[in-house]
Amino acid sequence: MIGKKIRLPHDWSVEASFDSITGEGATGYLPGGIGEYKKEFPLKLATDQMAYVVFDGVYNNATVSLNGKELGFHPYGYSPFYFDISSKLKSDNTLNTLTVNVDRTRYVDSRWYSGSGIYRNVDLNVKNKLHIPIWGTFVTTPKVSDNLSEVSIEVNVTNAYDKEKAIEVFTEIFDGNGVSVGQQSSEIVINSNNTSKITQLLSVKNTKLWDVDNPYIYKAVTSVVQNGKILDTQKTPFGIRTFRFDANEGFFLNGKNRKIKGVCLHHDAGMVGAAVPKGVWKRRLNKLKEAGCNAIRISHNPGSQEFLDLCDEMGFLVQDEFFDEWDNPKDKRMNMNEQSVDSITRGYSVHFQEWAEKDLKNTVMAHRNHPSIIQWSIGNEIEWTYPRNSDATGFFNNMHWSGNYFWELPPNSPEQINEQLQNLPKGKYDIGQTAKKISRLGT
């Protein structure tokens, strides 16, 4: 595919032929390889402007450059990320060249079909130097009732000027028909080259709650205003709902006990590969609704913004998952802990120590306003990659046990497991310590 014109999102692997000889079944017998994307575009910023390029997902090991100058590297294929490109834009009227190099030569780096390339959307955001940064709004609902609900909106504002600036932050909430149902204004002084946070509390009367049967969406429109002029605006769709889990009675949404009737969905969609058009997702989700499904677990990685938008709009409960590997790698071919070192099967565990915190925080920041999300999953099938813990339970490498790992109690009792954990040799990493560390990052 030399010099080929494409439209984003794009997955180059799905365009190739299946290869059962040199390919690998773990990733669908389709190739990986190296790809380079180039985009030329005109953009000359005014003295009061900045620009960001935002990627919803690139699979994987992406190196992004602008006009021959590297912006940065991003290894994880599923987390969103962005770069400030302001200083590397051309100052004349010639075209800028954005280059994204994708290295997926480790083509068995997953246990399912991952796709290759810029398979999710890319946005170019031009903003005033006084602006709401990327993922800079956070909506919560501290009090919820049919009559009156409180909506808390946390707003970050960045001042990239060399002088402090006095501004007004104005937020207005609109219902599903575009009618204004609440507004608030706040004044703030921001130091030079700094970011400040403010919280606004608004009331919404006659609240329409977000529910799986009636997924009602409100929209918060937040503006940065100076001397009566709007400098930046951020629109944040959100839902008003409550949910809780009870150990004895189950799950409650808006005070009603509900059964979570869910499925696990990977990020690809058959013939279209990983670059899934929104219409394909809508059709699939409609079919699931017709079958009685009301929940999705995104397996086994963060979903796209388009997918989550549809879950918000169509009324699905979502468990958003972060990782399929932590400290230790998996054997993708055998679906178990790694048996031998093979470079083409090395996945996210290679980058976990350095990148897990950034990837998790980026994902939470980007996805936190979706009313569909009721759970975050820190990892999938992680326990058997830690030999000490997998041996202690008796689930694994146990020739005398014929039960099923997924729905039966471990063959070893709690006392036996504790004894084993005391006596078995410790590895470099401990699953419990890593789990606690990851869980704290999301709070």
Nearest in space to 221 (alpha carbons), one of 202, 245, 246: 202
Cα separation values, 443 from 199, 301, 376, 390, 437, Å: 18, 19, 11, 28, 11
> Model confidence over 58-80: pLDDT tens digits?
999 999 999 999 999 999 999 99
Over residues 284-294, the mean pLDDT reads: 98
> What is the per-residue DSSP string for 269-318?
-GGGTTS--HHHHHHHHHHHHHTT--EEEE-SS---HHHHHHHHHHT-EE
Quote the CA–CA distance of 36 and 14 in Å, as a whole number. 16
Determine contact, residues 96/379, Cβ cutoff 8 Å: no
Ramachandran assignment for 201, one of left (phi > 0), alpha (psi -120 to 50 degrees), beta (any other): beta
Over residues 222-232, the mean pLDDT reads: 97
Per-residue pLDDT for 100 more than 60? yes
> Model confidence over 327-360: pLDDT tens digits?
999 999 888 778 888 899 999 999 999 999 999 9
Per-residue pLDDT for 1 more than 70? no
| pLDDT given for residue 62 in this prediction | 98
> Model confidence over 290-320: pLDDT tens digits?
999 999 999 999 999 999 999 999 999 999 9
Per-residue pLDDT for 390 more than 90? no
Over residues 273-302, the mean pLDDT reads: 97
Over residues 99-127, the mean pLDDT reads: 97
Per-residue pLDDT for 181 more than 80? yes
Per-residue pLDDT for 153 more than 70? yes
Instruction: Tell me which of 381, 408, 415, 419 is the catalytic residue.
Output: 381
What does DSSP assign to residue 93? S
- How crowded is residue 422: how many other Cβ atoms within 10 Å of its Cβ? 8
> Model confidence over 42-54: pLDDT tens digits?
999 999 999 999 9
Using only the alpha carbons of the chain, give its radius of gyration: 24
Q: Say what percent of the chain tops pLDDT 70.
A: 99
Q: Which residues of 300-313 are buried (b: 16+ CB within 10 A; e: fewer)?
A: bbbbbbbbbbbbbb
Q: Residue 414 is which amino acid?
A: P
- Which residue did the predictor score with more confidence, 283 or 22? 283
Quote the CA–CA distance of 308 and 372 in Å, as a whole number. 7
- H/E element, 151: strand 148-159
| pLDDT given for residue 367 in this prediction | 98
Quote the CA–CA distance of 373 and 318 in Å, as a whole number. 5
Query: Cα 42–44–50 angle (5° rounding)?
Result: 115
| pLDDT given for residue 404 in this prediction | 85
| pLDDT given for residue 96 in this prediction | 97
Query: Residue 56's Cα: distance from chain center in Å?
Result: 8
β-pair partners for 152: 140, 201
Give the model's confidence band at 397: pLDDT under 50 very low, under 70 low, under 90 confident, else very high.
confident
| pLDDT given for residue 2 in this prediction | 62
| pLDDT given for residue 443 in this prediction | 65
Catalytic site includes residue 172? no
Mean pLDDT taken over the chain: 95
Quote the CA–CA distance of 256 and 238 in Å, as a whole number. 20
**How many CA atoms lie within 13 Å of 377's alpha carbon, on the beta-carbon side?**
20
Nearest in space to 231 (alpha carbons), one of 241, 220, 223: 223
| pLDDT given for residue 442 in this prediction | 67
Determine contact, residues 389/328, Cβ cutoff 8 Å: no
Per-residue pLDDT for 371 more than 90? yes
Q: Using DSSP, state whether 118 is helix, strand or coil.
A: coil
Q: Using DSSP, state whether 110 is helix, strand or coil.
A: coil
Nearest in space to 284 (alpha carbons), one of 254, 117, 214, 272: 272
Q: Residue 172 is which amino acid?
A: E
Per-residue pLDDT for 441 more than 90? no
Chain position carrying tokens 């389709």: 30
Q: What are phi and psi of 343, to 5 degrees?
A: -60, -35
| β-strand pairing of 262-265 with 295-298 | parallel
Nearest in space to 265 (alpha carbons), one of 296, 289, 307, 310: 296
Quote the CA–CA distance of 185 and 284 in Å, as a whole number. 42
Cα separation values, 179 from 148, 149, 175, 176, 333, Å: 17, 17, 5, 7, 55
Q: Which of 24-28, 82-86, 310-314 has the lowest mean pLDDT?
A: 24-28
